[in-house]
Amino acid sequence: MAEDDDCASRLKTIVCFSCTLFLLQPLLCRAHERPPFTVDGTNERYEFVIPTVDEAPKVDGRIDEPIWATAACASGFRQVFPYLGEPASRETKVLALATKDALCFAFICAIGDKNKLHAYETRYDASMKRDERVTISLDTMHTHERTFDFTVNARGAKADSRFGNERWDGRWEAGVTVSDNEWVAEIVIPFSTLTYDPKVNSWGVNFWRYISETQELCAWAFHPDRPFDERYMPHLVGMPIPPDTKSTSNNLQLQTKLFATTKYDHEDGNMMSMYGLNGEWMMHTNTSLRFVLKPDFSEAEEAFESIDVSYVEQLLPDRREFFVQASEFFDEVSPELFYSRRIKRFDMGIKLTSILKGTSIGLLTTHGLKENEHNIALNIRSTPNPKTRLSFGYVGALRKGDHSHSIGVGGRIRFGNNGRFSFSCSYASHSSESNLSNGDAGEFRLHYSDRLWSASCEYSFVSPHFGPPLGYVPRRDFKLWSFHVSRNLIPKQSSFYRGGNLWARYNFGETFSGSFFNRSCAMGLRITLKDQTWIGIDYNRSKHAEYHIREQPFDDHSLNCWLSFGGNRPLRLGASYALGNAFDSRYRMHSLTLSWTKPDGTWNAFCKWSQRRHEPVGGTKLTVSSMELGLTRILSRDKWLSLRYFHRGGDYSVSNFAISFRIKRENGEELYLILGDPRASKLRRAFIVKWILPFTLGR
């Protein structure tokens, strides 16, 4: 009876929580937000109206076709960093038009010195943070919250993301030309590569540019208080959004990927082969169905990208294709309820995603037929107006002898002048037949931010037995208050720095039984100098209880310093030093990192060395050191070769060497060839071969 009452109580909490958010959201204004300055190219309704032409221009980076003379023009870019709100030091213009099938854009970017134009990357979907580049942001759901982003650097390399998912790959074209005075990027984005609701006749749009010569990040439309807030994006109107008709050939196509993996280990004498199939059916312009048969569990991508030498479990992203694609439709489900890496091997999976006006829906199921294990995850995210977001999540796990359910609700509301205040909250409840992991968790946060100041007050809790089988819950049994305040350092043209931040934090909490749990404070300073030298320092003091180790709390403190030279130049150096006390052990830790990129982008190299010295009270001193060396040779836009050596000694020994050859093409074809085992504790004669072949079925 007590268990039934507890379940009913949690259900009542969820219902009350959801109703409160639903009733509050109509009180907020739906009016479109505008920056405090004029956005050149928009009309009085804050619209960017683009004309429609019969035929798209040739994508070659040259804008000499007559149709570009009829294009709409956006200009007047301003700095986001370093001099917030000031006009950009180099002029940027964006031309835009549309056809019945695609959106067409042309960036005309003035430069001061062609020799100071830095663009290192030539590979598709590679990181371009230090490159001269331009970006188009499209809010196709028109929720003023999440966007498609299409980026092109001055070498013509492309990168894209959908609603924050950088592993999404779209089909679009780009061409670049560079002259002595300017560089031009021409971009054509087909409507068929976008996810949108055809009943929404206007989208949000914004344009960005990173000027490598002066190391400025600039944008067309933003508010200085919150430069990355999508609520200030102008309306994109005039394009002929294609209707959603099932009779079109696109809706009869099945995009599939066949993958095959072979692993061999000479020491074990074992060879293992895996194969499977991923597929996607675009049922509508706003709905798709994905499936996987015999999923890939080799994790070949992750094996060469990271080495996990931590002592505790880390919250790491899932690299498996089925979970990566369309993961942006499930990001509102808290990791406390759904952490996809908890799902190990299964035989088949289905994923349905859809958007309708301001609502996105994601449904995922996996099925292990032999083990009779089945999982389901549902996420619904709604944005009824630019200041309100609501979410609902459900996670179910069916195991032999146990069936568990997890439900989560959440929301965020902005209010006050220019939406500077926000209140967000989330609540999760878990129940199972065994009753051993039943419980709930929640978080409530009040936040304020403007151009200079940011402050927040947060209350969070996790009940003693809360343990969803698919969730990531590193700590249980606590109720915690957190306070945070920070001050942005906005430079002037005469300042010696380019930007900085000063912050402080204080936490205190207790267990559900009223015992001591945590009391901590921290403060820090981060500053970037004129020459892009980055300096950081912080101090942390934490008194925390670990009752599974001992009754008395631990009293930890640390001082950490960082220093980085080089900015976006080819040669860069980073150093760090830390000292303090952790779990009654004194420690000192220092590291050095040296990175180099050849100006033409064909070679990348890095060397990282670190050492940590422990001095336990009454124990034996321990020195842990590690070294990692990496070298990458870019053979072409879609092929590269990487070598890596890693050594660790002191607590446990790791010493290995591995070589990787990689092919990644824009059509989705990928090849991994790895010699050695990057995650092994010693050099192993082993190899992994993985091939992903995309093809299309249907008309």
In this predicted model, what pLDDT tens digit does every residue of 111-165 receive, in sequence order? Answer: 998 888 999 999 998 889 999 999 999 999 888 888 999 999 999 999 999 998 8
Q: Which residue has the tokens 């950009």?
A: 88
The CA–CA distances, whole Å, from 250 to 113, 254, 281, 282, 694 equal: 45, 9, 9, 7, 16
**Whose CA is closest to 168, among 277, 280, 243, 303?**
280
The CATH number fitting domain 31-237, selected from 3.30.413.10, 3.40.50.300, 2.60.40.1190, 3.40.640.10: 2.60.40.1190
Q: 3-state DSSP call for residue 12?
A: helix
Q: 3-state DSSP call for residue 10?
A: helix
Contact 480, 508 (CB under 8 A): yes
pLDDT of residue 547: 84
| Residue 32 bridge partners (DSSP) | none
pLDDT band for position 297 (50/70/90)? low
**Distance in Å from the first CA to the final CA of the chain:** 59
pLDDT band for position 471 (50/70/90)? very high
| Residue 23 bridge partners (DSSP) | none
pLDDT band for position 207 (50/70/90)? very high
pLDDT tens digits, 311-348: 556 777 787 888 888 888 998 777 889 999 888 889 99
pLDDT at 370 over 90: no
pLDDT at 422 over 80: yes
Contact 634, 611 (CB under 8 A): no
Cα separation, 256 vs 60, in Å, equals: 30
Cα separation, 115 vs 112, in Å, equals: 9
| Share of residues in the chain with pLDDT > 70 (%) | 90
pLDDT at 567 over 80: yes
CA dihedral 356, 281, 668, 696 (to 10 degrees): -150
Residue 226 is given by DSSP the state B
pLDDT of residue 402: 82
E-strand stretches of 472-570: 478-489, 497-510, 516-529, 534-544, 554-565
pLDDT of residue 474: 87
Cα separation, 115 vs 570, in Å, equals: 13
Residue 67 is given by DSSP the state G
| Residue 528 bridge partners (DSSP) | 499, 534
Question: What is the mean pLDDT of the segment spanning 363-378?
Answer: 93
- Domain chopping of the chain, boundaries: 31-237
Q: Which residue has the higher pLDDT, 678 or 626?
A: 626
Cα separation, 261 vs 692, in Å, equals: 9
> Around 309, how many Cα atoms within 13 Å sit in the side-chain half-sphere?
21
Tokens, residue 203: 């989208």
Q: Which residue has the tokens 């959004």?
A: 241
| Share of residues in the chain with pLDDT > 90 (%) | 56
**Whose CA is closest to 647, among 608, 604, 684, 595?**
608
**Whose CA is closest to 282, among 192, 203, 199, 163?**
192
Cα separation, 187 vs 170, in Å, equals: 13
Question: What is the mean pLDDT of the segment spanning 220-225?
Answer: 93
pLDDT at 382 over 80: yes
Cα separation, 566 vs 428, in Å, equals: 45
pLDDT band for position 28 (50/70/90)? very low
pTM of the predicted model as reported, rounded to 2 decimal places: 0.88
Cα separation, 403 vs 389, in Å, equals: 31
